[in-house]
Chains A and B, each alone.
Chain A
């Protein structure tokens, strides 16, 4: 199993550009999420999905869109990049069965918006 994969690892954008951060998991997890990590602010939830076709907003959804057409993929789209979106982005997938819960993280994408 590859686990959770994210591409790209690094990206530099100009203000106003758009792009999509890719996330895929091969563990058949129903739950996937996107976080951003900024210094001193821990991890903040952007969007999450509880299954294919179902998405919802987290704490900081503005400026981002997501879709979940398959169980495996959960891309994050930046519509019009802003310097405030400079951050490290993590994708995660998780499962919960009865008394067992685990969450797996991708390696992260460092995004710089100039």
Chain B
């Protein structure tokens, strides 16, 4: 069975600094998708970044980038120039498009990030 592990329940960073959130996963699939979602205090789930496993290039969205290491099954999120608005819970998720999985997302338990002024 596929699993997603976020080993850091809580993290903090100073405003304007860089922080990296870790995520590891376990799967026997070769084709899959990985996601980072942000959940601020408003509770809304917001997609931060997405990585397709067949792409070797790491995904980047403005200040957010990932370090995707397929062989190591690692998918970390780097936030550069941290802002107060980045304070949120961050969830890593995995999805296999294999028809037998019905495209269900497998979720990590989340990392609570606090950006301090």
Contact = CB atoms under 8 A, between A and B. Distances in A.
Contacts of A102: 47, 50
Contact of A48 (B35, B44, B104): B104
Contacts, number: 47
A75 interface: no
Interface string A44-64: 110010100000101000000
Interface of A is mostly: strand
A107 B44 contact: yes
Contacts of A90: 45
Interface in B78-117: 91, 95, 97, 102-105, 107-110
Nearest to A50: B102
Contacts of B44: 105, 107-108
A34 interface: no
Interface string B50-92: 1010100000000000000000000000000000000000010
A101 B102 CA distance: 13
Interface residues of A, number: 25
A45 B95 CA distance: 13
Contact of A41 (B50, B104, B109): B109
25 contacts: A31-B103, A40-B109, A42-B91, A42-B109, A43-B91, A43-B107, A44-B107, A48-B104, A50-B103, A56-B102, A90-B45, A94-B103, A96-B97, A99-B54, A101-B33, A101-B50, A101-B95, A102-B47, A103-B35, A103-B47, A105-B45, A107-B43, A107-B44, A108-B43, A108-B44
Given A43-B107, A99-B52, A102-B50, 16 more contacts: A31-B103, A41-B109, A42-B91, A42-B107, A43-B91, A48-B102, A58-B104, A88-B43, A90-B45, A101-B97, A103-B47, A107-B43, A107-B44, A108-B43, A108-B45, A110-B43
Interface of A: 31, 33, 40-45, 48, 50, 56, 58, 88, 90, 92, 94, 96, 99, 101-103, 105, 107-108, 110
Smallest CB-CB A-B distances: 3 pairs? A105-B45, A42-B109, A42-B107
Interface of B: 33, 35, 43-45, 47, 50, 52, 54, 91, 95, 97, 102-105, 107-110
